[in-house]
């Protein structure tokens, strides 16, 4: 019963946020500064998720070259800059992470 309420509630808030602007589509017009600003949203939100995830991988700040999350993250960013291909970046980053963490025991 508790789970039914939880899932329905989560559905309602998630769907409303995603749908409200689509629903009124005809009546909303954004000024140019707002559209430009929104263009920054995806990279900025993703970065705000990534940085704490690699610097605080296990609940504590870990600023060290022995932190495999940080090292593999930097390596993945480098691969992405050079190759510009998402799948290559994911595979290279994951391989680097696995080698550091489980191969070298970082």
Partner 1 sequence: MTVQSCVKGEAKASRWAEFLAGAKATLPLIVGAIPFGIIFGTLAEPSGLSALGALAMSLIVFAGSSQFIALGLMAAGAAVPVIIATTFVVNLRHLLYAANLVPKVRHLPQRWRMLMAFGLTDETFAAVSSRYLGNSDLSHAHWFYLGSMIAMYSNWVLCTALGVGLGELFPDMTQWGLDFAMSVTFIGMVVPYLRNTPMWAAVIVSGTMAMATVGLPHKLGLIVAALCGIATGLSLHMLKQRKTATLEVTL
Q: Which residues bind partner 1 (CB under 8 A)?
A: 2-3, 5-15, 17-23, 25-26, 28, 30, 33-57, 68-69, 72-73, 76-77, 80-81, 84, 86-87, 89-90, 93-94, 97-98, 101-102
Is residue 83 a contact partner of residue 68, using CB atoms and an 8 Å limit? no
Q: How far is the CB of 104 from partner 1 (least distance, A)?
A: 13
- By residue count, the chain amounts to 106
Burial label for 76, CB within 10 Å (0-12, 13-18, 19+), is buried
**What is the closest distance, in whole angstroms, from the C-beta atom of residue 38 to partner 1 in the complex?**
5
């Amino acid at each position: 019963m508790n789970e039914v309420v939880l899932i329905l509630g989560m559905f309602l808030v998630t769907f409303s946020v995603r749908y409200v602007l689509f629903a009124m589509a005809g009546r909303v017009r954004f000024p140019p500064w707002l559209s430009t600003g929104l263009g920054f949203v995806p990279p900025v939100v993703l970065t705000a998720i990534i940085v704490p995830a690699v610097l605080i991988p296990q609940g504590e700040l870990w600023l060290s070259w022995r932190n495999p999350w940080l090292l593999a993250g930097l390596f993945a960013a480098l691969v992405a800059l050079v190759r510009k291909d998402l799948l290559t970046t994911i595979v290279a980053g994951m391989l680097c992470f696995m080698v550091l963490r489980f191969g070298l025991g970082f």
